[in-house]
Structure 1
Amino acid sequence: MITLKLRAREERRLRAGHLWAYSNEIDTDERYKTIEPGTLCRLLDSRGKPLGVGYVNPRTLLALRLLSSDVSAPLDQAWFERRIAAALALRERIYPGPYYRLVYGEADGLPGLVVDRYGAVCVVQITTAGIERLKDVVLAALQAVLKPEGIVLRNDSSARELEGLPAYTEVVGTVPDRVEIDEDGVRYALSLTAGQKTGFFFDQRDNRTRLQRYVRGRSVLDVFSYVGAWALRSAHYGASKVSCIDSSESALDAAKANAALNGVELEAIRGDALAAMKALRGDARTFDVIVVDPPALIKRRKDHDAGIEHYAALNRAAMQLLPGDGILISCSCSHHLEPEQLQRVLLREARAAGRRLQILEQGGQGPDHPVHPAIVETRYLKAFVCRVING
């Protein structure tokens, strides 16, 4: 295992519990660039005091990620088994069924690794060269702890490109075309090889539960619906009518199939979210409750201003479809967008429409996506439940 040192006065963030070191913080020489991406390393501060062990990629700005503060940690299969078992213990304490995010990267002490559990099948996403080099060890540890029937490697994230890694999907063991999960009494049949991201958005589970206060006997519009998670939870809680907007025909087909699985009806509207909401307004349609849950619109800091305007346009269009007293649930999974910024967007658009806004609830990601207190990037999800009223 190689040893790297930080430059003088660059250790404060890591001493406070952070797990990242940037290339300009590492004391490098001409040999640094010859290190193979993902190589395991010990990290010392500028005075030679140990900070931990992890892995390094000399070709990226975010160059080093720590796995343990114990410089003697072996980082072998048994070590990974202990980390995965600790993550499993939390989820089993919280959830009645085996459907959740099992490993959430840095927050579970495993930077570069995401694991979602769908009963007997796991979906694994590796985003760094370090974990890619340790893939066989990680998979062996996962199999030892969970004994899944199948594992899907969904290594098609754009984050891999930054690490110089190829995109690929791989199946290990037995994985059915669709797996069925249960979320608080609602059933979903999901494709884990062809679906978005890792198959399902577990992070919004607690926010979807908030629907039960607002939807009974009401009409609900689920914008960016994917497989219909918000819409079907609304139907489960007694909504009178549920409608979905998504640009993906396959996602809407899955939403309709999931509606049939739960014995409910669902209106599917295919199209761009803004264009579809504009068309609904042109048809004089209104909805009592509207959920706007887009993908990340601010993936990089330089996208911030354009992303803010996109959030504004989406929420403006949604408010125009609400009656005189309606509920808007507005979400963002962009970690570059602060909650206060989304709140200002909502206030601005309500005032521009001559309407009053009340924030009833504010939510974030569920506890299967725990927040690392030293790494703000692990807190990313915002969900505002708002009342939008005339006058």
Structure 2
Amino acid sequence: MIELKLKPREDRRLRAGHLWVYSNELQTDPAFRGIAPGSLCRVSDDRGKPLGTGYVNPHALLAVRILAGNAETAIDADWFARRIEAALALRQRLYDAPYYRLVHGESDGLPGLVVDRYGDWCVVQLGTAGMENLKAQVIAGLQSVLRPRGILLRNDGGLRELEGLPAYVEAVGEVPDEVELLESGVRFLAPLRAGQKTGWFYDQHDNRDRLARYVRGARVLDVFSYVGGWAIRSAAFGASAVTCIDSSQTALDAARRSAALNGFEIETLRDEALDALKALRRDQRQFDVVVVDPPALIKRKKDYEAGLEHYAALNRAALHLLPADGILISCSCSHHLEAEALQRILLRESRHAGRRLQILEQGAQSADHPVHPAIPETRYLKGFYCRVLAA
């Protein structure tokens, strides 16, 4: 076990419950750079008092992630099984059916690990060198607790590139290309291999549950629809018509099949979001409810200004498609965009459009994506439910 020591006065964040150590907080020597990425390590303060067990990547700015507060903990398959059992207990309390995010990284005490459950199948993302090294233990822990029919390793996310890891997709057992899931009684098809991230976005589950009071009898537009989560839930709540916009034909095809599973018909438009919104305005189309739920448009701090303008342009275009007394649901999953900044965008764009805005509700990530109280980065999703009125 590699022993690492913090510089003086760099232990306060760990003692407050944080799980990250940056490279400039460690006492290092030339040999530090030679440590194999992902190696297990023990971390102590500058006086040698143990603070925990984790894993280290000497080539990353975020050099250490803590797995356990006890420096003597054995990080093996049994340890993963215990953590997964604790995570499972929460999800079984939250949801009646086994479709949810089972493990949400740091918030479940498993930094670098994401697991989404689709009934008998799990999709796993190992985002760090440490979790990649522990792959066998992760798989053994999942098999011990859930006994899934198959596990799909979707290790092709951007975080791996920062860790110097290759991208790959690998199946353990039999995993279909597409699986059916239930969300509040509505059926969907999730493309596990060809879809985005893990195949489905469970983090909007609770926010989609809020749709019922807004969409009955309404014309609903789902922008960045992916496989139609917002649109099909709206149809189930009694929307008169639903339209999906996405740039992926694969996603739109899955949306149509999901709609058919529930006995609905939907309109799909394949195009870039802004182009599609502008075309709808030229065609004088209007909708009673517009949902703007883009992917993260600000992934790094240096993208902040460009991302702000992108969010502004999308919401500006959406406002032009809403009549007076319409509903705009505007979301952001960019951690770097605070809720207050999104609210300012909505205010400014509504004023420019000659509209008055009322914020009715504010949403966040679903409860199967818990927030670690010491790690602000685990709170990322925000959404505003707005009523749009004539000025």
| Class of the TM-score when normalised by the shorter of the 2 chains | over 0.9
1:297 equivalent to 2:301? Answer no
Tell me how far apart the structure 2 counterparts of residues 3 and 177 of structure 1 sit (CA, whole Å): 43
How far residue 190 of structure 1 moved from its aligned partner, in angstroms, is 1.7
Aligned match of 1:55: 55
* C-alpha contact (below 8 Å) 2:177/2:194 kept by paired residues: no
List 4+ stretches of structure 1 deviating above 2 A. Answer: none
Q: Which amino acid aligns with 2:17?
A: G
Aligned match of 2:11: 11
Tell me, which stretches of 5 or more residues in structure 1 are unaligned?
none
Tell me how far apart the structure 2 counterparts of residues 43 and 182 of structure 1 sit (CA, whole Å): 43
Tell me how far apart the structure 2 counterparts of residues 80 and 381 of structure 1 sit (CA, whole Å): 27
Moved more, 272-281 or 171-180: 171-180
Normalised by the size of structure 2, how large is the TM-score? 0.99
1:170 equivalent to 2:170? Answer yes
Aligned match of 1:369: 369
Aligned match of 2:334: 334
Aligned match of 1:65: 65
1:137 equivalent to 2:142? Answer no
Aligned match of 1:351: 351
Q: Which amino acid aligns with 1:361?
A: E
Cα deviation 1:10-34 (Å, max 9, x = unaligned): 1111111100000000000011001
Cα deviation 1:331-355 (Å, max 9, x = unaligned): 0000001000000000000011111
Aligned match of 2:323: 323
1:181 equivalent to 2:181? Answer yes
Q: Which amino acid aligns with 1:186?
A: V
Tell me how far apart the structure 2 counterparts of residues 258 and 305 of structure 1 sit (CA, whole Å): 37
Match runs of 1:33-112 below 5 Å:
33-112=33-112
How far residue 177 of structure 1 moved from its aligned partner, in angstroms, is 2.8
Tell me how far apart the structure 2 counterparts of residues 178 and 200 of structure 1 sit (CA, whole Å): 11
Tell me how far apart the structure 1 counterparts of residues 324 and 367 of structure 2 sit (CA, whole Å): 35
What is the SS of the residue equivalent to 1:31? helix
What is the SS of the residue equivalent to 1:302? helix
Aligned match of 2:23: 23
Cα deviation 1:74-95 (Å, max 9, x = unaligned): 1111111100000001001110
Aligned match of 2:271: 271
Aligned match of 1:193: 193
Tell me how far apart the structure 1 counterparts of residues 178 and 40 of structure 2 sit (CA, whole Å): 37
Tell me how far apart the structure 2 counterparts of residues 46 and 107 of structure 1 sit (CA, whole Å): 27
Tell me how far apart the structure 1 counterparts of residues 46 and 190 of structure 2 sit (CA, whole Å): 50
Cα deviation 1:175-213 (Å, max 9, x = unaligned): 123211111121011221111100100000010011100
Cα deviation 1:32-52 (Å, max 9, x = unaligned): 001000000000011111110
What is the SS of the residue equivalent to 1:234? helix
What is the SS of the residue equivalent to 2:243? strand
Aligned match of 2:32: 32
What is the SS of the residue equivalent to 1:48? coil
Moved more, 251-260 or 289-298: 251-260
What is the SS of the residue equivalent to 2:274? helix
* C-alpha contact (below 8 Å) 2:243/2:268 kept by paired residues: yes
Normalised by the size of structure 1, how large is the TM-score? 0.99
Tell me how far apart the structure 2 counterparts of residues 190 and 2 of structure 1 sit (CA, whole Å): 41
Tell me, which stretches of 5 or more residues in structure 2 are unaligned?
none
Q: Which amino acid aligns with 1:34?
A: G
Tell me how far apart the structure 1 counterparts of residues 16 and 301 of structure 2 sit (CA, whole Å): 24
* Percent identical: 69
Tell me how far apart the structure 2 counterparts of residues 20 and 348 of structure 1 sit (CA, whole Å): 37
1:120 equivalent to 2:120? Answer yes
Q: Which amino acid aligns with 2:206?
A: D
Aligned match of 1:153: 153
What is the SS of the residue equivalent to 2:154? strand
Q: Which amino acid aligns with 1:337?
A: L
Aligned match of 1:378: 378
Q: Which amino acid aligns with 1:307?
A: G
Tell me how far apart the structure 2 counterparts of residues 21 and 184 of structure 1 sit (CA, whole Å): 39
What is the SS of the residue equivalent to 1:278? helix
Tell me how far apart the structure 2 counterparts of residues 360 and 116 of structure 1 sit (CA, whole Å): 31
Moved more, 367-376 or 7-16: 7-16
Aligned match of 1:214: 214
Cα deviation 1:90-120 (Å, max 9, x = unaligned): 0011100000000000000000000000000
Cα deviation 1:284-335 (Å, max 9, x = unaligned): 0000000000000000001001100100000000000001110000000000
What is the SS of the residue equivalent to 1:213? helix
What is the SS of the residue equivalent to 2:342? helix
Q: Which amino acid aligns with 1:162?
A: L
What is the SS of the residue equivalent to 1:214? helix
Tell me how far apart the structure 2 counterparts of residues 97 and 357 of structure 1 sit (CA, whole Å): 37
Q: Which amino acid aligns with 1:221?
A: L
1:249 equivalent to 2:255? Answer no
Aligned match of 2:234: 234
How many residues in Structure 1 have an aligned counterpart in Structure 2? Answer: 391
